[in-house]
Structure 1
């Protein structure tokens, strides 16, 4: 499967975002002996993507697919069209079913741990390393989000929006800093403009289930996820 370096990096990060924390740690465990432990154990999700590219040049996606098979995440192999995805089509595993013993999708697993107000990255996420990659909605597509929807999301959020924008929405740090400078002392408008940037990038995929799946990767105000569920049938 021919994938450009940038596309390969983004795909690796997106599939790591789709794993709940327990399976992310298991993913690293299964790489022990193939990547030095001193690099592997403290690795965040973006760090692990870099390690895969470094230690398996040209084969990072194939190696990720092998590990995902061991974790019974055939749904992710299909979703991201990893090498061997065609062999998964005849499998009985369905997307979202094999997300752990609870049967929840990665987004649902993360969302269940959300507490308190505002946005904060989960403790395992570490600091953002460069550009992230879009997450993907586990649910079917719904109507496109409107600017009014985005404003209601912005009004329910806190001040950790830049880290969430980089880590979970895959936006550029330079663009987020420009948004902050353009809207000084107005966090709601800063978040709103960030979400508009995401909406413009996602185009026909800018739906409530899609945004819910991305924001569930962080500990957001539960009201945000509840709102997106109410308008998108998540």
Structure 2
């Protein structure tokens, strides 16, 4: 039970208000498997430490660190976990390493270029995506754009928040999210790469919605 003991030491460093915000992030997220509100109500710090270990198993420390950075308590992360990789402070998905393995959802490796039907592979644009194409795709995403951005395009949480605050409509928010992905990928932001990521069967977008990625050829 070493993990639970360590987590208790971490939780003991939080004020009551910070503890409530910690619980809030545990139950309001799509970045990892959330904990139901009923399971968190009236939990003591000792009980919460055991719940974190039981619910998240080997990921309990990574996810706890991620939530601490959202509160934010960067100082506590540095104190308890060491400096290490602080990229979680910008919204990194704590399950990113799992999704990065071959066969997991949400990465380009889950559907390689060779697995794409030849007729479509030869049509996919190999240059950096244009605004017109990104807008056409954004118009089809609906309210799934946040999940797509975080889970499949692996954008950081604060980037998604900025997109939502910048624009008032879902379509424009989706467009901003896709532009953020393009800006991050730079010259590698091709239709081929985007198609290979979003064509994964677990992504909440249909193949017909991806046709716009096949139509922007010179």
TM interval, shorter chain, is 0.3 to 0.5
TM-score of the aligned structures, taking structure 1 as reference length: 0.42
Rg (Cα) greater in structure = 2
Structure holding more helix per residue: 2
TM-score of the aligned structures, taking structure 2 as reference length: 0.45
